[in-house]
Amino acid sequence: MNIDSFLKQAQGFLVPALISLAKAAVLWYVGRWAIGLGVNVMRKSLTHNKLDATLIRYICSIVAGLLTVFLALGVLGVVGIETTSFAAIAAGAGLAIGAAWSGMLSNFAAGVFMIVMRPFKVGDEVEAGGVRGTVKEIGLFASEIDSEEKVHTIVGNSKFLAGKISNFSTNPLRLVAIDFSVPTGTPFRERMERLEHTLQAIEHVEPKTAEIKIVNFDGAPVLRASTACHQKDYEEVRGAMADHIERALSDIGFAGAPKGLGEASEDEGGILGEAPEGGEEEGGKKEAGEEE
């Protein structure tokens, strides 16, 4: 083979190859520029709609990565490399990765839903995923909660959506309700009004929200004392209510109720009022009977 024929063959091979490489390079750079432009437009649109910054970053990264993969396959096609096998390999790898990361992907999907729908936000007091406490961070895969025992807990997002979510910070006011029973035969009806006034006087209780009602009459009457307060004052108000109700039950015990409900109050009649009329007289008759 002489040099001329070799140069002709080389020219016939190299020139088309160089042209294909030039086309592929132009396609790559133009495609990358177009992907960057499109992702920036999408980022501005999502930011304008006030979507979470973390979610915007992940969405833009995923979209840019997928478009870059398709662009790379197109560039390989221009060069003359068969891309069918690459596509099959990529699909198989995607299935394998998806099966291996099924738990992570479910947490990711749940995280996207939580960031978009916002069932709770940072700082809310919630009960979800088997944990009750204050939300410290909402991530795309897991969220962080400081429990009531001040334990820092990290829970996968899919666990939140698998059950009930109770958000105690959504409504401005929260009902404080305590059930308690009184001895059978106790004249509690005439004393409920005084206890209501006492509960209404507790600090941080909303005006005209104190109420006492009968919730059960099976055997001993069961009463429910309830008030309303702001979420931040819930524990303080509940403790004060429990203290007042305990004193009220002691006063009922002083009025002749069965033992075990507390000692008599030194106040004049206590919170629930004075003892029923005739109590001392009945007691005197009983003592007289015993002497006889």
**pLDDT(286) > 60:** no
Q: What is the pLDDT of residues 7-61, one digit of tens each?
A: 556 555 666 777 778 888 888 899 899 999 988 998 888 888 777 776 777 788 8
Residue ranges of the chain that CATH labels 2.30.30.60: 119-167
| Angle subtended by helix axes 102-117 and 84-100, to nearest 10 | 80
For residues 161-178, give the mean pLDDT. Answer: 85
Residue ranges of the chain that CATH labels 1.10.287.1260: 9-100
Alpha-carbon span 76 to 25, nearest angstrom? 10
Q: Which CATH number fits domain 173-276: 3.40.50.11540, 3.30.70.100, 3.30.9.80, 3.40.50.620?
A: 3.30.70.100
Q: What is the pLDDT of residues 58-76, one digit of tens each?
A: 788 888 888 888 888 888 8
Give the per-residue pLDDT at 33: 92
Euclidean distance between the first and the last CA atom of the chain, given in angstroms as a whole number:
147
Give the per-residue pLDDT at 284: 42
CA proximity to 217, closest of 245, 195, 176, 185? 185
Q: What is the pLDDT of residues 190-233, one digit of tens each?
A: 677 778 888 888 888 888 888 888 887 777 778 888 889 888 88
pLDDT confidence band for 254 (50 / 70 / 90): very low
Give the per-residue pLDDT at 192: 76
Residue with more model confidence, 189 or 176: 176
For residues 165-183, give the mean pLDDT. Answer: 84
CATH of domain 119-167: 2.30.30.60
Alpha-carbon span 97 to 103, nearest angstrom? 11
CATH of domain 9-100: 1.10.287.1260
Give the per-residue pLDDT at 255: 36
Complete DSSP assignment for 129-184: TTEEEEEEEE-SSEEEEEETT--EEEEEHHHHHTS--EETTSSSEEEEEEEEE--T
For residues 96-100, give the mean pLDDT. Answer: 65
**pLDDT(85) > 50:** yes
